[in-house]
Structures are given as structure tokens and as C-alpha cells.
A and B are shown apart, each in its own frame.
Chain A
Amino acid sequence: MPVSDTSFFQSHYMPNTPSQQQEMLDSIGINSIDDLFSDIPTEHRHPTLDIPHPISEIDLKSELMTLGIQNRNLEQNACFLGAGAYNHFSPSIVKAILTRGEFLTSYTPYQAEASQGTLQVAYEFQSLISNLMSMDVANDGMYDGATSFAEAALMACRVTKRDEIYVLDTINPVYREVIETYASPQKLKIHTLSSSNPRLPQTASCLLVQYPNFHGTIEDLSLYKRQTEDMGSLLVVSANPIAMGILKPPGEFGADIVTGEGQALGIPISYGGPYVGLFCTRKKFVRQMPGRIVGRTNDSDGKTGYVLTLQTREQHIRREKATSNICTSQALLALAATITMAAVGKTGFRQQSELSYHKAHYTASLIQNIPGFSLPIQGDFFNEFVVKCPINPSKINKQLLANGIIGGLDISSSMPNCMLIAVTEMNTASQITALAETLKKFGS
């Protein structure tokens, strides 16, 4: 009997009927499908599986929509929350192209002749990200901004043959945690450098800087470049891609490795993932760069084509000597980012960046004038800034939510009564006014 102890169920994903299965079994001289599992120890076969019975698409959708409604989402609420993930514009063509089966359901492009679509997109992604950050080369993406930053630190240690990683105290604390997870098993030490007194020793493999930093302030990359250059260390910068629309990119300051979070480039915010990590470096370091890299070449007829290259860095060839263990990364999201960069384009990207900048500064000026509220951090910022509140930010956020506004990140664990607010081109004047009006209620 082809089907075992379950009551008969024909899945709509599995074409072969019991009679076809029987035909197949007969043709290969096997009595039952169960016989094919005879290598599994008998005492462990046919375990009970406490999973719900199959459910129809109609019922499933209904159930999931009910659960979905329980979530307060960004389409129905104004968002002033950032800290590593942002509500930015995503053109409608992104989803239309992303969900094409030829992109969505294809595999990693190891067979180049069967994957020219995926490969050419990767080359485009590498080109645009390199341009954006003003760097020589980029890879086809890593898992996210945090792991990219961590892998960059590991790369710096390989390149300089030093084992001390220095990070500024103004980087995203979560990113710092991830760097710790990746670095400590390899006996690499992480030290924190105060941005008010950044003195790098000669043992440093790198200095990790976030640009703009976690609090939204624009760091002085030329200062850090001088520091690292003097010590023979690498300058590693994690940059906000949207900010690069108006800010001088890290490449122009001489950064050695530039990473970042690509989510802001049209990728759904999706409760934290999937996103895509950006990773670029100088030509001389390309063989130490982790991740997939696509190169342009030609075929036997002389036609231009694209292919995975410099594969001897990767795990499937180098195994334990690989630059990283990364295999599957986030290619589909790199595609989304490429479509977005193309659609927004040269003028649009700059506009988007400027809109975020002006709206954020306007919001900051409004809040600054509300009694009880202040901006505790001096310095230029892009679209994110810290607000000191008269009471605990969580209480304020509850009131904001009641008014259909998702407030900033509560950072009172490191800065008492403080909130980190982000403003983008998606925030309208009326949303900003509503935010300010609600905050006024808490003013002293």
C-alpha cells in the first residue's frame, strides 16, 4: 500500500496518485514505499506527529488575516521608528518583478548558462552599490547590515594579520552584539573607542564607524581615516544607503571596507527580515572579501555574459579555509534593491534623501520648542535624532499609538528618558504635526 497509516489525503502539491505510485513501485520491483525506509531503525519509525491536520487555502487565509489584524502595521499608522530599519519608499514595480517565478523560484546561479538573469542583476547590484558608496568593488550582498559589519571586522583581521577590533561607542549596540558573536570564537578582541577621545593603538586591525551613527549624528570620517592610516589599520564604515544621496560617501574619505543595511532600498520592512547586507571594498582586497561575486566575461561565441567568479574564496571550494561560511545569502532582496535604485534613479535618489533630511530637521525644530523636550546631542544629523522626553518614552509611545502614530525607539536604558526618532520622505506634514501635537500634551 503506497499510503501508510493516515486517512487518505491527496495533497494539491503532490501530483502522483496512489495508482501512479503503484505503477512506479511495480516498475522498480518494490512492494511498498515503506520498504524504501528500511534503513531507519524500526523502533524509531512512524513517530506520532502532533501537527494540525491539513487545512484549505480558504480557511488558512482567513486564519492568517485574523492574526494579521492583531498587528499594528505601517500602512495604517505613521512611523517615526528607525534604528536600523526604515520606512522608505518602495516602488510598485519591485513586487511585480520580484514575484516573477523566473526570479523567485530559481536557484543560486552555479550553472551560468541557465541563470543569466540572476547573474546580470547581481552585476548591476554590485555596480550601483559601488557607485553609491564610491568604492571599487561590491559583492552580491550578505545577510544583513549587522553581519556585514561583523564579517568586515573579520576580514580586516585577516588582511592586517592583527586580532584587535576597535569599534566606536556610537555604533548600533545590536550590531556590536553581533560582531561579538562572530569575533569571540576566533579569539579576536573587541575594544570600544570613545568618540570624544578616539586614540587608536598600533595593534588595531580596524576601526568600525557607523555613518550616520546610531544616534543619527554624522561622524567625521576624515578624522578616523587619519587615525587608521597612521596605525596601518583599516577604516570600516557602516553607511546608511539613503543618506548617501546627499552625504559624501565613505569611499571619498578613503574607507577600506564599507558595509550597510540595504533594507531602506525598497525592501519590505517585514518585522526585521529578510533584508540584505551591503559589502564593498578596495580592489586590492577583493580576494579577501566574503560573499558571492559576479563577474562579466564572454562565452565561446564572443557574447557578453556573467558568471560567479573568484569562487576559490568561498566555502564550496575552500571549505574550512574559506573567507566565510556563507552560502545562501539574500539575492532576491539584492534584486529588489537594484530595481528600486533604477526606478528612483539619479534625481529621485537625491530627492528622497533631501526630503528625509528636511522633514527630519523640521520635526526636530518643532520638538525642540515643546516645553519639557530637548535635543541632547549636538552635531549635524541626517534623518535620525535623539529626543529627551519629560517622562518615560514608553508612556509617550502608548499615547502616540492611540493617535495612530508609531513613536521612536525607547533608548532609556542607555540615555534616561530618551527616544530615537527617524523621519523619512514617507512622513507627511500632517503626520509630523500630529506627532508634535501629541508630544505637547506631555510638556511641563
Chain B
Amino acid sequence: MNNIQEFQRKLLMDRSVPGRIGSILPELDVPQQNLLRPELLRDNLDFPELSEPEIVRYFTNLSRLNFSIDTNFYPLGSCTMKYNPKINDEIAFSPGYASLHPNQPIDEVQGALTILYRLQGYLREITGMSGVSLAPLAGAQGELAGVLMMRRYLIEQGQTQRLKMLIPDSAHGTNPASAKMAGFDVVSVPTDNSGNISLEALRIEATNDLAGIMITLPSTLGLFDQNIVEICNILHKAGGLVYADGANMNALLGQVKIGDLGFDVMHLNLHKTFSTPHGGGGPGAGPVAVKSILEPYLPAPIIEFNQELDENNYYLKSPNKSIGKLAAFHGNFGVLVRAYVYIRTLGDYGLKQISQNAVLNANYIKEHLKESYNLPFDRNCMHEVVFSATKHKDKGVNGLAISKRLLDYGFHAPTMYFPLTVDEALLIEPTETESKETLDLFIETMKTIDQEARSQPGLVHDAPHNTPIRKLDEAKAARQPDLRWSRSEESLSDNS
């Protein structure tokens, strides 16, 4: 292989050279003990044998194949790809936080528990709710916790027949998936032409088997439902509960408290709104916040403060009717620390400015692109805007093609084909950490692609051209799944 790029992508097991080592472990400094019986022992372990320099070079070169917030504008709608502050990482990695064992007695970790307790308080304040649990390890787990609490509450109220969960047709897939996992039946409610949930459809569903509704606010269309207070009223009158999917909180920080609008329970995505890094697909954290009626059911553990003691006041508690533990330990602590540092850095003034800048940036893009791309909802948007990439569909240029062409220009694509209710959806969320110059460049680029779609549609259709790899054969990947290295394919070679 004399092509450097191919060499850089050779897999660990294919690079392996017998006898190379990547680290040196200490010698055994205690007497050797009796071994286990041979039938308990393994014969062989297929792990790579590589030296440290080549491992570092391999992973470093792999990283350079990625788009990331640190290197590119990343306007992924509903993901809130804002700048991830480095101070958060520095503190989370420091020994005082990174080197704590979860099973240590609480008096050994009071500093850690202090941070968690304060974070609970900040999230209560921001959401306008009474109780918070930091236990869920991701948004989807937060959703699961939320719907499990709703179910438990309704059962205790003697309302076991309430199994119907309403979910808008524009919702993120985790909503129906979580509702199903909690034992609910999912019923879809439509959004009207203004982007609001149809009140008429809601009233029809307000029967005595109604458990609740899961609403994303603002919606996945980037719009604030103009009837939200009425929706909460309808649900409550019908005996149901209202859940807020807080994925889009970036639009609302400091502008309104979700609890004030009538919601009973919600989750937050710390890896979206609160700047903790996405890491290529996690970790995240999905704390839940609830009104007092649901507090007894919060997932364990929550952090409490015992005023009677002189020291070691913070302790872990399982609420007396808790839905239980969602994971082995106390939540994604490293992520929680980062969110805490972020909230302290921004403070009350900064939190409000996040939503102001996020919403201004999205509206700026909306207005400057609405001549070039179809805008299904021509009204003020919130922190994200959805376009429908149907203008040049007849020439073979759809949402997918435009997204891939953006990669050629060094921008990560927006979210495509979501929400499902918009044809050829392109959901753009700039976030507040982007400068006007970047936004202008993005707008100019999108206009250029629109021109290309008119005059050279093939160029856009066949994009991307400039990325390390071009469009991949996904059908082959699904038909003949090749999901791990195996010995027989040692001498893999490309046809180039």
C-alpha cells in the first residue's frame, strides 16, 4: 500500500505486529499465587500488538476525518451544537472529580454532592418546577423516567385505565419509543398549518383513558405553540398529565419557565442546552424536573441536605415512591459537573442572552434564505427554522443532495428529513455561539447551492465531492452486514 490515506485507515488488527507493546505494566510485587484450573482459562485473545506512537498517530488521523463544533459550523436542528467550553472539561477531569469511586461513603465525597445539590437547584429554578433528579443518563432515559412517573402516579390515583399517550406527529422518535417502553399506547395528534397542535384533535382524544401528552416546546418545527396554556388546561381537565420534552430549551432559557405554563414534568438535555460535549454520540445527561405531585416518584438517587448536622450534610436519597434506579450509579457525574460549571460561567445574565442570541440567529437565517428555499411556516421562529427543500426536486436536488453539498463547502449539514411532517425537511439551528460573519457565510453558501441546483444540478446531486469519503453504499451495509474485523479478511485492499 503506497497510498498514505489508505494506510492511515488500516484497522488496528491489520496493523498488528507480533511482539510490539503499547504500554509497560509493573512487575508482580507480591508472591505468585496458585492458578485457576485450566478449564476456566482462555487460550487466546485476539487483541492488537502495536507501539504507542503508531496508536496515537492512528487515532489522531482518524479524528481529522471528522467535522466537529471545534472545526466547523454545525447547524444541526434540535441538537443545539453550541461551543463546548474547555473549562468544563478541565474541571471534570481534575482528580477531585474524576477520581471518585461511586461506592465511597458520602462523607468522603461532600464536595461532589454539593455540586450536584446546587445543580438540582439551578435546574429547578430554570424550569420553574419543584423537584429534580439528575439520575437519567440521556434525554431518552429522562423521557422514560418522565413517562414512568406519570404511569405510577395515575395508577396510585386509581386511574389504571389511563394508557393513552398523545404524541404530536412532529415528535422526535424517542418520544413514542419511551412511551411504549413505559407500557403506554401511542396515539398521534396532528399539527395544523400554523405549526400548532390541533386543539380539535386534542378535545376528541380527551377521553377517560387519556394518560397524557408529550410536547416538545418549542416544537421540532422551531415554533412556540400559540395555544400551549390551553393545551395544558384541556389535558388537566380530562384527567391527564402534560410532559415537556426539553430538547429545545435553548430557545427559552430565562424567557419563560416551563412549569409556569402548566406542565407537570419535563426532561432537559444537558448535552444540548447546557454545552456538555456530544462526543460523537454521547455521553449525555437527561435530568427530569417535576411538579410537587410527582416528586415522590423521581428516579433514584436525589441529593438532599440535612440541616440538623454540623458536617457531611449532603446525602443520597431514594424518594419513597421512586420509579426506581435507571442505572447502576448516580447519573453521568462527569457530564453533570460540566453543566454546573457552564451555568456558573453564564450566570443569570448569560442564560437569558443565550436564548436571545439563539433566536435572533435563527430568524436572521430564516429571513435571508426564505427567497431561496421554501419556508413552510412564514412566522417568527424560535431557535431553529425548518425549510422544505422541494424547489429543485424535479432536477434531482432534494434535502439530501443539498446537505451533502454543504459538506463540500466545509459546513456540516442541517438535520434532514426531520420532523417527518415536512417534506424534504432541512432543520437549521445555528445556536448563540455563532458570529454574524459565520452566519453570513452560511447564508451565502446556501444561496450558491441554490444557484448550482438551477444551473448544475448534477453537481449537487452527486455531492459530496470533497470529503474524505463519498456517498457510501448503505444498502450493501444493511444487506451484507460487516460489523467487525475478522481474521480471514486480513489482507483487505481497496480497488484504487
Q: Are the chains A and B members of one assembly? A: yes
CA distance A305 to B9 in the complex (A): 9
Establish whether residues B413 and A70, one from each chain, have CB atoms under 8 Å apart when the complex forms: no
In the complex, what residues of B have CB within 8 A of residue A91's CB? 22-23
Task: Please state if B281 and A246 are interface contacts (CB–CB under 8 Å).
Answer: no
User: Are B334 and A273 in contact, with the CB atoms below 8 A?
Assistant: yes
Query: Min CB distance, A237 to chain B, in Å?
Result: 14
Q: How large is the interface on A (under 10, 10 to 19, 20 to 34, 35 or more residues)?
A: 35 or more
Cα–Cα, bound, A124→B74 (Å)? 26
Within 8 A of B (CB), among A135-194: 136-138, 140-141, 143-147, 172, 174-175, 177-178, 180-182, 185-187
Please determine whether A132 and B30 come into contact, CB atoms closer than 8 angstroms: no
Interface assignment of A51: CB less than 8 Å from any CB of chain B = yes
Contact partners of A118 in chain B: CB under 8 A: 66, 280-281
**In contact, A121 and B33 (Cβ under 8 angstroms):** no
Of A224-232, A290-298, A369-377, the one contacting chain B is A290-298
* Interface contact A71-B96, CB-CB below 8 Å: yes
Which of the candidate stretches B197-205, B288-296, B325-333, B391-399 sits at the interface with the other chain? B325-333
Question: Using Cβ atoms and an 8 Å threshold, which residues of chain B touch A115?
Answer: 65-67, 280
Tell me the B137-165 residues at the A interface (CB within 8 Å): 137-141, 143-144, 148, 151
**Are A147 and B279 in contact (CB-based, < 8 A)?**
no
Cross-chain contact A185 with B151 (CB below 8 angstroms): yes
The docked-state distance in angstroms from the alpha carbon of A401 to that of B32 is 28
Contact of B473 among A140, A274, A297, A326 (CB under 8 A): A297
Q: B174 to A325, Cβ gap below 8 A?
A: yes
Contact of A329 among B20, B180, B281 (CB under 8 A): B281
Q: Which of B63, B138, B225 contacts A143 (CB 8 A)?
A: B138
Q: Are B64 and A71 in contact (CB under 8 A)?
A: no
**CB-nearest residue of chain B to A50:** B125
Query: Are the CB atoms of B100 and A73 closer together than 8 Å?
Result: yes
Whether A320 contacts B177 by the Cβ 8 Å rule is yes
Contacting residues, chain A, for B388 (C-beta < 8 A): none
Q: Give B165-193 interface residues, CB cut-off 8 Å to A.
A: 172-174, 176-183, 186
Chain A residues closer than 8 Å to B224, beta-carbon distance = 37, 39-40
A83 to B94, CA, bound (A): 23
Contacts of B179 in A (CB 8 A): 320
When distances are taken between beta carbons in the complex, the residues of chain B under 8 Å from A317 are: 173
In the complex, the answer to whether A325 meets B323 with C-beta atoms within 8 Å is no
Let me know if A272 and B328 touch, CB within 8 A.
yes
B327 touches A51 (CB 8 A): no
In the docked arrangement, what's the CA distance between A333 and B71, Å? 21
Instruction: With both chains docked as a complex, state the minimum distance between the C-beta of A174 and any C-beta of chain B, in angstroms.
Output: 5
Interface centre among A4, A55, A320 (most CB of B within 10 A): A320
Q: Which residues of chain A have C-beta atoms less than 8 A from B96's C-beta?
A: 64-65, 67-71, 73
Within 8 A of A (CB), among B228-280: 228-229, 252, 254-257, 260-261, 269, 271, 277-280
Does B350 reach chain A (CB closer than 8 Å)? Answer: yes
> Nearest residue in A to B223 (C-beta to C-beta)?
A39
The one of B23, B84, B183, B363 that contacts A343, using a Cβ cutoff of 8 Å: B23
Please name the 7 residue pairs, one residue from A and one from B, whose CB atoms are nearest each other, closest first.
A68-B96, A272-B329, A101-B70, A332-B279, A272-B102, A331-B281, A54-B347
